[in-house]
Amino acid sequence: MRREANLAAVKPYADHLDDGLMQMSFTLPVPYSLAARQAALELVAKMGVERAEVVHSQRLADGYTHFVMFGSCRHTVDFSVLQSEGFDLQYMSEEEIEAYAAEYIVRPVVVVGASTGTDTHSVGIDAMLNLKGYHGHHGLEGYRSFAAHNLGSQVSNQALIARAIELDADAILVSQTVTQQDLHIHNLTELVEMVEAEGKRGQIILVCGGPRVSNELAKELGFDAGFSKGTLPHHLATFLVREVVARRQSR
């Protein structure tokens, strides 16, 4: 008979329920050696991992060693509380979004997006905005309820904001893929400050996305929402039409 998971005390799962088994990989700035192996074992023990094993280690360069570890996590999380705190959003389908926008917004929602700063990667912004979209889902260009403007990559924050003001945009969408040394945080923070300096923060919905962007980080930086890996165009579209309606109703 299959055991049911205790949602108040969830642990990682591998061979059987609640075994806590998990795999980790990381690099330490230490020379490849037995001492390096022991350092990795002590580190994961401090993280609450029991019966840890080094299943693979290798020298990356002078003074750097990469590890793949396996062990059992002693900690748990209360998933039942998280379920009740509104983390899981109900997304509308493309057809539902079109119907919702036609009823409550009427005009197209204007969205201006770009990969900003020195970021040359446009795959994320293209997936959200271009007609082709991603994984069988149209980007916002494919919706009657949106007027999407994709400015591409390596666009300065100043140019993006200027275009948004020119088009009287409802929302600005920023994609950030290059994140070394937290460049994305600096760039995103600068954009929010520039929008505020233009006196447009209350009128423009700010959304950011990227591999290391979370909704929590986005809000901490001053954005209205953040989307990370696994986001599909209708997820973004659902948020935008609901946010446009919510702002209209609050005026």
Nearest to 97 by CA among 135, 134, 143, 131: 143
Interatomic CA distance for residues 60 and 194, integer angstroms: 41
Q: Is the backbone of residue 181 left (phi > 0), alpha (psi -120 to 50) or beta?
A: left
What angle do the packed helices 94-104 and 233-250 form, to 10 degrees? 20
What angle do the packed helices 183-197 and 157-166 form, to 10 degrees? 40
Identify whether 200 is a catalytic site residue: no
- Burial of 169: CB neighbours in 10 Å, binned 0-12, 13-18, 19+: buried
- Give residue for tokens 């293209």: 126
Interatomic CA distance for residues 235 and 228, integer angstroms: 11
Interatomic CA distance for residues 11 and 75, integer angstroms: 7
Catalytic annotation, pick one of 132, 200, 219, 229: 132
Residues marked active site are found at 132
